[in-house]
Structure 1
Amino acid sequence: MANNAGYDVVVDVDDDDGDLGHTDLADLEFHQSNYNADQASGKIPSNQNRGFFNSGSGSGTARSEPTGKRYLWSLDFYAQFFDVDTNEVMKRCWAALWPKAMFLDVLEDRPDLYGPFWITTTVVLILFLTSTLSHYFARMKDEPYSYDFGLLSGAAGLMYGYTAFIPVALWGVLKWYGSESAKLLECLCLYGYANLIWVPVAIASASPITILNWVFVGIGFGVSALFLLRNLYPVVSATDAKTAKILLIVVVVLHAALALTVKILFFQHGSPVKKT
């Protein structure tokens, strides 16, 4: 009977005896089964198509999520950190500039590296362009101007280094002191979106008016520092009070050093550093 695929076996049992052991083999009948048709139409899910992510969904439709492991040396491992759309990135950018809610709540446990990478890259390019204009306006009228492409490498080293190493170091210190809520990707995302304020600051600082440049840099420092402190405080406060206070002070000091470096290196007219 096992070779008759696609058929159901119907057994007629004698009502009087009620004993399957005395059933007449002549009463066995074969009826056409709809099992194969139902399986092809998706009404009955096939066990071969079931994976870790789609088993037990009950909808009969297979999902396309990968079931394999993501290894550190594979592109799939890094692609998951860039899985955001434009609307989501714009929402996070607006939350960084106008922080009505906690930024970590806006992330919804889905931090990304796409926004931080392109924001930092944009800051690097804007710093180079605006500092070039600033130097051009500050030169003597009778002096020929020559472009300094070392500003581009300096901006890249400063912004990429600060955005990458400071969050990693902060996360490592928090883990050392036993903070369970500290997450590396969230720290990187937080510092990356905090760089967004430097785009309008760098554009405004192309002005040859020195006092305005200091005001714009001060505003950029204040907005970004408050953004960092507001979102880092719940994570840092998981440590003891003294350690949390020291860490917050270090965060502010390092951020102030970044703002001062941006002003001195890229908008040099009226600053302590002069080109020889």
Structure 2
Amino acid sequence: MANRQGYDVVVDVDAEGDLGHTDLNDDLEFHNSTFDNNNARNKIPSDSQQSSFLNPSRQPSSSSKRFLWSISFYQQFFDVDTDQILHRCRSTLYPRQNFLDVMEGNPDLYGPFWIATTVVVILFLTGTISQYLAEKGKGHFAYDFRLLSGAAGLVYGYLIFVPLGLWGVLKWFGSESANLLECWSLYGYANLIWIPVAIVSWSPLTILNYAFVGVGFAFSAVFLFRNLYPVVSATDAKTSRVLLIVVIALHAGLAIAIKILFFAHGSPASKAAPKEPEGQDGDAAQMVARMLLGM
């Protein structure tokens, strides 16, 4: 018989069915039960023990396609608290160690998403202020909401596709130094410096705008270079140099796009298309408007 504590109890009984004595210590043999071991063999691994291409150390995977549409699949990418987010932001602005070590194997998308969203909103607001100061006294000022869609496309596109491309190249060369989620998180926090840069870059002084954008580019480029160097070094020397040059070049392209599109004083983008003089077309438009009002 088996007791409830996981042991098998064996009782030795003689031929007459008599126990012979009441002391059962000499006749009892205890053996470890295999009940729990059998269950352990048949037990399906939990989600925390499975892995995926996003983060092999902690992310779950499933053979069911519907699992990708569940909230729990995306909830794991935002599994951080406020203290962790603030610590990672401080580590970005005042780097003292590799940022991958700061994340401690728990990269997130919460911080990168809100950092990118904040950058988009501030770029739109300060870009609008910059345009207003440039056109002040030239007539009625019209808000250009294309700045908002342009900022969203620029920042989100850079944040999504550049780390994705870097991760794909690293996988192509057989490097397992960083997973896709870590690349997204690293690039997301690197954009934090653009928040103060965008706040102070609304000035109509061209030299100040160039200086602020240059500081933002230099700071974020050094941050990316410092943290990506150990990752790309897992490939051969020539490939790692090429990857680092491409990373810095793409980041320089982001800085140039921010300067030209949103703080374009003294740049070709600041030259607005000349307005058409009011002639016969303008008079015709006024006549049509008067006719519509009179009807």
The CA deviation at 1:271 is: 1.6
State the TM-score, normalizing by the size of structure 1.
Answer: 0.77
Instruction: Determine if contact 1:115/1:192 at 8 Å carries over to the other structure.
Output: yes
> Could you tell me which residue of structure 1 aligns to residue 54 of structure 2?
none
Q: 1:102 aligns with which of 98, 110, 119?
A: 98
The CA deviation at 1:79 is: 0.8
> Could you tell me which residue of structure 1 aligns to residue 212 of structure 2?
216
SS, match of residue 268 in structure 1? coil
> Could you tell me which residue of structure 1 aligns to residue 84 of structure 2?
88
Q: 2:16 aligns with which of 10, 22, 27?
A: 22
Q: 2:254 aligns with which of 232, 239, 258?
A: 258
Q: Provide the C-alpha distance between the structure 2 equivalents of 1:87 and 1:117, rounded to a whole number of angstroms.
A: 17
Q: 1:118 aligns with which of 108, 111, 114?
A: 114
The reply on whether 1:228 has 2:212 as its aligned counterpart is no
> Could you tell me which residue of structure 2 aligns to residue 73 of structure 1?
69
Instruction: Determine if contact 1:175/1:182 at 8 Å carries over to the other structure.
Output: no
Q: Provide the C-alpha distance between the structure 2 equivalents of 1:95 and 1:20, rounded to a whole number of angstroms.
A: 76
SS, match of residue 177 in structure 2? coil
* Unaligned stretches of 5+ residues in structure 2: 5-10, 23-38, 47-59, 274-295
Q: 1:275 aligns with which of 267, 272, 275?
A: 272
What is the correspondence of 1:172-251 to structure 2 with a 5 Å cutoff? Answer: 172-251=168-247
Higher alpha-carbon deviation: 114-123 or 71-80: 71-80
Q: Provide the C-alpha distance between the structure 2 equivalents of 1:172 and 1:93, rounded to a whole number of angstroms.
A: 26
Letter in 2 for 1:124: V
The CA deviation at 1:188 is: 0.5
Identity fraction in percent: 63
Q: Provide the C-alpha distance between the structure 2 equivalents of 1:51 and 1:21, rounded to a whole number of angstroms.
A: 47
Q: Provide the C-alpha distance between the structure 1 equivalents of 2:90 and 2:182, rounded to a whole number of angstroms.
A: 17
> Could you tell me which residue of structure 2 aligns to residue 58 of structure 1?
none
Q: CA RMSD in A?
A: 2.8
**C-alpha offsets along residues 34-86 of structure 1, whole Å, 9 cap, x if unaligned?**
xxxxxxxxxxxxx9xx9966xxxxxxxxxxxxx99582222211110011101
The CA deviation at 1:179 is: 0.8
The CA deviation at 1:221 is: 0.2
Q: Provide the C-alpha distance between the structure 2 equivalents of 1:103 and 1:241, rounded to a whole number of angstroms.
A: 22
Q: 1:153 aligns with which of 149, 152, 158?
A: 149
The CA deviation at 1:20 is: 3.6
The CA deviation at 1:24 is: 4.7
Q: Provide the C-alpha distance between the structure 1 equivalents of 2:116 and 2:122, rounded to a whole number of angstroms.
A: 10
> Could you tell me which residue of structure 2 aligns to residue 163 of structure 1?
159
> Could you tell me which residue of structure 2 aligns to residue 127 of structure 1?
123
State the TM-score, normalizing by the size of structure 2.
Answer: 0.72
Q: Provide the C-alpha distance between the structure 1 equivalents of 2:116 and 2:17, rounded to a whole number of angstroms.
A: 81
Q: Provide the C-alpha distance between the structure 2 equivalents of 1:182 and 1:240, rounded to a whole number of angstroms.
A: 16
* Unaligned stretches of 5+ residues in structure 1: 6-12, 29-46, 54-66
Q: 2:140 aligns with which of 102, 119, 144?
A: 144
Shift in alpha-carbon separation, 1:269–1:238, aligned structure 2, 3 A: same
The CA deviation at 1:142 is: 3.8
Q: Provide the C-alpha distance between the structure 1 equivalents of 2:253 and 2:138, rounded to a whole number of angstroms.
A: 35
What is the correspondence of 1:46-61 to structure 2 with a 5 Å cutoff? Answer: none
Q: Provide the C-alpha distance between the structure 2 equivalents of 1:68 and 1:255, rounded to a whole number of angstroms.
A: 33
> Could you tell me which residue of structure 2 aligns to residue 32 of structure 1?
none
> Could you tell me which residue of structure 1 aligns to residue 26 of structure 2?
none
User: How many residues were matched structurally?
Assistant: 232
Letter in 1 for 2:254: L
